[in-house]
């Protein structure tokens, strides 16, 4: 028998408290005058004896209650010996398959240790193999068949995901709760420090679960990695494109490393970088000679180290012509095109081409070549153009509509059909204006616009939201920016103009990111993340109600989804690093670059005391020999639940005796 927290024994000093109180609270008889004592005689023995018995019993119960509580805090346990691993318990073999297990011989060593333990299991003991990284996978049902268990062990290979001991502990707790038999977990891992959860409490296991750690790494190994790459996702001008890569070293000395920029497997540039000891360095490549369409690019060390998976960082680039934007203006808003063009050329030079036309002359225009349209106070549109723009939006394109006096005169916003009730006009003198009030700052159109700081709106046009969503309101409470959706497309409606007639918005810096972000969002350029890490989920459907299928090709070029899954699944877990091709409805394609989680690159091991605390026993630096686990192994049995139960009984007894004692005294 032992104590896990013997320092709590200091709490036994509390036993002096009831002793002190009982000594202080000695009973005193109350004097009382009586006419004559001739019929009385001294008769205190019976009552005093009863009271003293109650008194001593009460004192004993109180002392026992305090002592039991203190004893429970010391976490006492008794050790018993088991016949060997297993017995009547369920054996769980948890094998780390994270990216770091590809370093050196870590995974083979883990499998070898697991096989050694497995060979000691008795014939009738059931076991289960779990492969874990960022999540835990059960590889077999509980079985006593060694062949199934060996096959499960053999099937484990390193993935690019990071290991999470917190998630593993959660899975083990669930398994222990579901299991009728006690659970014995053998964990085979390199036990990286980065695998630990933020709070140690997340590593707790169910009472009765025995954990045996088998460490597959002996020391903190050095490792270099291409930590991150910054590159444009859409390439318009290859010569001016700039690619920056951050190189990092963990537990490494200062060294010079060569890195290469590769496009579709071809090395296009090579540079050297001096990486400080356990530090970082940045290399930059100017010019990215990529063909039209999607290109598979990577920045990689010329000479890989012992963990090659993190020596390269993938990224995809799409080289394309500028997106064409249709700009239609009304008779009095032609000047707004100047402001919008200037904003686009400032924020995203070459990314967009603006075709400016009067709205009245665009009745028979073919809209298919435009990714989005901007209507700057167009006034009433020709019916055919209005219908064409509605269909254009419905097919997944975007529309930015700025409402002005000409549109207000028509009484209805074109395309969206929202009614306009009139305008609120503020004189320009004496700060009589409104500005941005309540706003959804997470919306892509205004997320990076610094709340339109200093922008003044002198005239707002009162849009009836109807089916549209209000993204931002003016300080007067009137809707200022609305989002309207139809089909796969969407539109933004601004309740003011894009020139400086009704506001001074185009004269402020916030106008530039607003136009840039709005048109990127409306034309779908900012919709998908082009770079993810292993274990992340790929969003397959932007519209949950859509039944259209999405085709996904894994890094090997194979279909990642069956036909049924491609129509049914809304997400896909990316389990390998590399380039994943996504073909969405409407002919849209994406090339998603998936890299391993860079937290796996830090091969610093979990502190030994943390590992021992988790295991509840000293951890041998060397992997425990199979014979050690096969021998009679002491098992700890926690006693505190029983002690707390006795403390509860003592508390109930104290309450009962105390009530009897005091009720007798109150008579």
Residues in touch with other proteins (CB under 8 A):
27, 29-44, 46-48, 664-667
Q: Is 74 helix (H, G, I), strand (E, B) or coil?
A: coil
Helix (H, G, I), strand (E, B) or coil at 46: helix
| Residue among 511, 527, 162, 146 at smallest CA distance from 342 | 511
Measured between alpha carbons, how far is 174 from 178 in angstroms, rounded to an integer? 6
Smallest separation (angstroms) from other proteins to the CB of 58 = 17
| Closer residue to other proteins, CB minimum distance, 1 or 46 | 46
- Phi and psi angles of residue 241, each rounded to the nearest 5 degrees, phi first: -65, 145
Report the residue number, 37 or 547, with the smaller CB distance to other proteins.
37
Q: How many CA atoms lie within 13 A of 397 on its CB side?
A: 22
Least Å distance between CB 659 and other proteins? 16
First to last CA, the chain: 48
**Structural contact between residues 163 and 134, judged by C-beta atoms closer than 8 angstroms:** yes
Closer to other proteins by Cβ: residue 44 or 545: 44
Q: Which is nearer to other proteins, 7 or 40 (CB)?
A: 40
CB 322 within 8 A of CB 351: yes
3 state DSSP class of 270: strand
Least separation, in Å, of the C-beta of 20 and other proteins? 24
Whose Cβ is closer to other proteins: residue 52's or residue 419's? 52
Beta carbon nearer to other proteins, 45 or 627 = 45
* Residue 73: CB minimum distance to other proteins, A: 39
Q: What is the rounded distance in angstroms from the CA atom of residue 556 to the CA atom of residue 177?
A: 40
Q: How far is the CB of 42 from other proteins (least distance, A)?
A: 6
The neighbouring-strand residues paired with 234 are 318
Kindly tell me which of 46 and 429 has the beta carbon lying closer to other proteins: 46
Residue 183: count other Cβ atoms within 10 Å of its Cβ.
22
Residue 52 C-beta: closest distance to other proteins, Å: 12
| Token pair recorded at residue 472 | 């931002």
Instruction: Evaluate whether 185 touches 68 at the Cβ level (below 8 Å).
Output: no
C-alpha 315/C-alpha 416 separation (Å) is 38
For the bound state, the minimum distance from the C-beta of residue 657 to other proteins, rounded and expressed in Å, comes to 17
Q: Tokens 């045996």 sit at which residue? A: 212
Q: Phi, psi (5° rounding) for residue 148?
A: -65, -40
Question: Measured from the CB of residue 666, what is the shortest distance to other proteins in angstroms?
Answer: 7
- Work out how close the CB of 34 gets to other proteins at its nearest, in angstroms, rounded to a whole number: 4
Report the nearest approach of other proteins to the CB of residue 661 (Å).
12
The C-alpha atoms of residue 219 and residue 394 are separated, in whole angstroms, by 59
Angle at 542 between CA 232 and CA 489, to 5 degrees: 85
| Phi/psi at 231 (5° precision) | -150, 155
Nearer to other proteins, 26 or 621 (CB): 26
272's CB contacts (< 8 A; 6+ apart) are 256, 257, 258, 259
Residue whose CB is less far from other proteins, 52 or 80: 52
Dist CA 382 CA 379 (whole Å): 10
Least separation in angstroms between CB 51 and other proteins: 8
Least distance to other proteins, CB of residue 177, Å: 55
From residue 204, alpha-carbon distances to 168, 171, 611 in Å are 10, 11, 12
The secondary structure of 435-464 as a DSSP string is -EEEE-TTSTTTTTSGGGTT--BSEEEEE-
DSSP string, 314-336: EEEEEE-PPEEEEEEE-TT-TTH
If the CB atoms of residues 429 and 667 are measured against other proteins, the closer one turns out to be 667
Query: By C-beta, is 44 or 124 nearer to other proteins?
Result: 44
In the complex, the smallest distance separating the C-beta of residue 25 from other proteins, rounded to whole angstroms, is 14
Q: Are the C-beta atoms of residues 306 and 104 closer than 8 Å to each other? A: yes
Q: Of 29 and 256, which has the nearer Cβ to other proteins? A: 29
Nearer to other proteins, 335 or 658 (CB): 658
């Amino acid at each position: 028998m032992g104590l896990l927290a013997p320092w709590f024994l200091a709490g036994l000093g509390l036993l002096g408290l009831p002793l002190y109180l009982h000594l202080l609270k000695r009973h005193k008889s109350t004097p009382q005058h009586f006419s004559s004592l001739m019929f009385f005689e001294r008769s205190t023995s019976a009552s005093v004896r009863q009271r003293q018995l109650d008194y001593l019993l009460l004192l004993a119960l109180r002392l026992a209650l305090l002592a039991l509580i203190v004893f429970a805090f010391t976490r006492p346990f008794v050790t018993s010996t088991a016949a060997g691993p297993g017995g009547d318990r369920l054996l769980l073999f948890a094998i780390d398959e994270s990216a770091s297990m590809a370093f050196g011989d870590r995974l083979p060593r883990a499998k070898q240790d697991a096989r050694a333990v497995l060979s000691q299991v008795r014939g009738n003991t059931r076991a289960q193999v779990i492969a874990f990284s960022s999540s835990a996978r059960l590889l077999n049902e509980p079985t006593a068949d060694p062949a199934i268990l060996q096959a499960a062990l053999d099937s484990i290979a390193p993935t690019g995901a990071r290991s999470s001991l917190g998630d593993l502990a959660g899975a083990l707790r669930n398994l222990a709760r579901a299991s009728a038999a006690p659970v014995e977990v053998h964990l085979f891992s390199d036990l990286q420090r980065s695998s630990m959860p933020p709070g140690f409490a997340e590593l707790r296991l169910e009472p009765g679960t025995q954990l045996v750690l088998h460490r597959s790494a002996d020391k903190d190994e050095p490792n270099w990695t291409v930590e991150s790459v910054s590159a444009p996702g859409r390439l318009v001008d290859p010569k001016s494109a700039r690619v920056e890569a951050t190189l990092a070293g963990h537990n490494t000395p200062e060294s010079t490393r060569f890195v290469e920029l590769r496009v579709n497997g071809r090395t296009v540039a090579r540079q050297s970088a001096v990486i400080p000891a356990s530090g970082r360095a940045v290399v930059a490549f100017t010019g990215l000679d990529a063909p039209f369409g999607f290109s598979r690019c990577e920045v990689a060390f010329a000479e890989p180290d012992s963990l090659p998976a993190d020596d390269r960082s993938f990224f995809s680039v799409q080289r394309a012509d500028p997106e064409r934007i249709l700009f239609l203006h009304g008779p009095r808003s032609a000047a707004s095109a100047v402001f919008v063009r200037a904003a686009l050329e400032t924020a995203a030079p070459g990314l967009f081409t603006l075709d400016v036309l009067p709205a009245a002359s665009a009745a028979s225009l073919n809209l298919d070549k435009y990714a989005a349209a901007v209507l700057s106070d167009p006034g009433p549109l020709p019916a055919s153009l209005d219908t064409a723009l509605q269909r254009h939006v419905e097919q997944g394109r975007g529309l930015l509509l700025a409402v002005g006096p000409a549109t207000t005169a028509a009484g209805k916003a074109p395309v969206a059909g929202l009614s306009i009730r009139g305008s609120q006009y503020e004189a320009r003198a004496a700060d009589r204006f409104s500005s941005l009030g309540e706003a959804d700052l997470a919306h892509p159109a205004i997320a990076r616009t610094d709340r339109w700081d200093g922008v003044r709106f002198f005239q707002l046009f009162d849009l009836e939201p109807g089916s549209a969503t209000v993204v931002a309101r003016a300080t007067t409470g009137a809707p200022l920016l609305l989002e309207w959706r139809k089909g796969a497309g969407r539109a933004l409606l601004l309740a003011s103009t894009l020139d400086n007639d009704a506001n001074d918005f185009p004269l402020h810096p916030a106008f530039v990111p607003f136009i840039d972000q709005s048109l990127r969002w409306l034309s779908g350029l900012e919709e998908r993340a082009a770079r993810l890490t292993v274990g992340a989920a790929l969003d397959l459907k932007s519209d949950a109600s859509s039944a259209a299928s999405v085709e996904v090709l894994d890094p090997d070029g194979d279909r990642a989804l069956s036909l049924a899954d491609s129509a049914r699944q809304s997400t896909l877990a990316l389990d390998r690093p590399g380039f994943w091709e996504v073909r969405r409805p409407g002919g849209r394609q994406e090339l998603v670059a998936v890299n391993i989680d860079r937290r796996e690159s830090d091969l610093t091991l979990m502190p030994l005391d943390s590992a021992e605390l988790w295991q509840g026993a000293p951890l041998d630096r060397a992997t425990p020999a199979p014979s050690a686990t096969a021998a009679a192994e002491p098992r700890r049995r926690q006693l505190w639940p029983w002690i707390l139960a006795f403390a509860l009984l003592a508390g109930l007894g104290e309450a009962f005796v105390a009530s009897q004692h005091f009720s007798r005294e109150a008579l």
